[in-house]
Amino acid sequence: MAYEEFKTDFPAEIVEEGKVKVLVPKLKAFVKSPSEYAPSKAPVFYNPVMEFNRDMAVLALQAYQTSVNRDISVCEPLTSTGIRGIRFAAEIRGVKKVLVSDINEKAFKLANYNVRMNELHKRIAVKNEDANCLLSCHGAPRKRFDAIDIDPFGSPVPYLDSSIRALRNDGLLALTATDMAPLCGVHAKACIRKYGGKPLRAEYCHELAVRLLTGCLATTAAKHDIGIRVVFSHCTDHYIRVYAKIAYSAKKADESIKNLGYVLHCFNCLHRETTKELFSLKLPKKCSECGSKMDIGGPLWLERIFDKQFCESMERENRHVALRNSEKIRKTLALIENEVDAPMTYYVLDKISEKLALRVPSVNAVLQTLRQNGFQAFPTHFNSRGIRTDAPAAIMKEIFRKTVACN
């Protein structure tokens, strides 16, 4: 089918993103009121807001390809318009083949059209299959992919098992989760059901969301004697994103499981601590700072959720490409690189202000005061008002008071 002959039976338009042009649904035609979520109303899902997500994915897969230093194969089994997979083939060096698929027949036809329009049909195969069926058919050793990108509407958990089995040793798995209400504790039962961990409605819930998803990934991979290592993650707008490399080894799987644990949080004084031993909690555990009962979150991933070298590689790639989001990406990566070795969890100044009934000082002022008093202190990309520090909650509040008094 020549792409010139393709006609949609719904309003559509050509958009440019990265180095490609694609035909997508004209979203304005599918909403009757401003409150409606246009992408879900269209016959083929397309969300222009996720361009930043796709930009980051291109940089991350390029960083991965550079690290393994060989041609790679990529699968995107939930492709919709095909824009993500097409960008992988067009913008990443060393991509030998890309397989994209969607169970929606209209999405399949549109993705096929877009692949041909960008003259990438020799390197991109388009399928009209269920994502899990497609991935399961690539679970044999010689059929596996180097990288798989799962970007669903909602939770990626239904695709974890088949994705892990379809990855070769040292492969990269990229996951998006947009169901932030369960992950951030608004719907705790849904989080326990889907991710196998209890969330907390704490001020650092977005970081916990990343750690809950990663913990679920580690548990699922371990069932197949596979270990994981997180190389990058970020939280942007309404979603979280996790990039993890896998390693086939029962020993590596055991090591991954050892990285799971729990967060204990005191909603009275904001004290928080972590533990890897559930049986040592002796619930209900009282806060060591104020004596109040502490709440528990987890099991979740307690180890690093960023890798410095991987972040630096992404940053280098960003300097050499011209993306609409390049400046936003630069700022995000700069923040993440600084928090690679920072303590787990963060304080949000607005929350402390509310507790102490004091005005909110600037982030820079609090950072400076913390450092002057001998503590580690870093801003975080998770929250523009957030600070990572090794200062205990009681000291953090003293620092807060001191900063307010001096400014």
Give 72-130 pLDDT, tens digit per residue: 999 999 999 999 999 999 999 999 999 999 999 999 999 999 999 999 999 999 999 99
Among 207, 229, 263, residue at a domain's last position: 263
Q: What is the pLDDT of residues 303-317, one digit of tens each?
A: 999 999 999 999 999
Q: Is residue 26 part of a domain?
A: yes
Q: Is residue 294 part of a domain?
A: no
Q: Is residue 341 part of a domain?
A: no
pLDDT at 2: 46
Identify whether residues 84 and 227 lie together within a single domain: yes
pLDDT at 279: 57
Q: Is residue 287 part of a domain?
A: no
pLDDT at 38: 78
Q: Is residue 199 part of a domain?
A: yes
Distance of CA 249 to the CA centre of its chain: 25
Q: Is residue 320 part of a domain?
A: no
What angle is formed at CA 170 by the lines to CA 150 and CA 124, rounded to 5 degrees? 50
Q: What percent of the chain has pLDDT over 70?
A: 97
Q: How confident is the model at residue 5 (pLDDT cuts 50, 70, 90)?
A: low
**CATH code of the domain covering residue 134:** 3.40.50.150
Residue 367 DSSP SS3 = helix
Q: What is the pLDDT of residues 11-44, one digit of tens each?
A: 999 999 999 999 999 999 988 877 778 788 899 9
Q: Is residue 311 part of a domain?
A: no
pTM comes to 0.96
**CATH code of the domain covering residue 366:** 3.30.56.70
- Position 3 pLDDT exceeds 60: no
pLDDT at 40: 83
Mean pLDDT, residues 233-250: 97
What angle is formed at CA 86 by the lines to CA 84 and CA 90, rounded to 5 degrees? 120
Among 244, 263, 282, residue at a domain's last position: 263
Q: Which residues of 382-403 are buried (b: 16+ CB within 10 A; e: fewer)?
A: bbebbbbbebbbeebbebbebb
Residue 381's domain comprises 346-407
Identify whether residues 356 and 244 lie together within a single domain: no
Among 222, 248, 263, residue at a domain's last position: 263
Looking at the 3D structure of the chain, how many domains does it have?
2
Q: Is residue 365 part of a domain?
A: yes
Identify whether residues 257 and 358 lie together within a single domain: no
Q: Which amino acid is at 179?
A: D
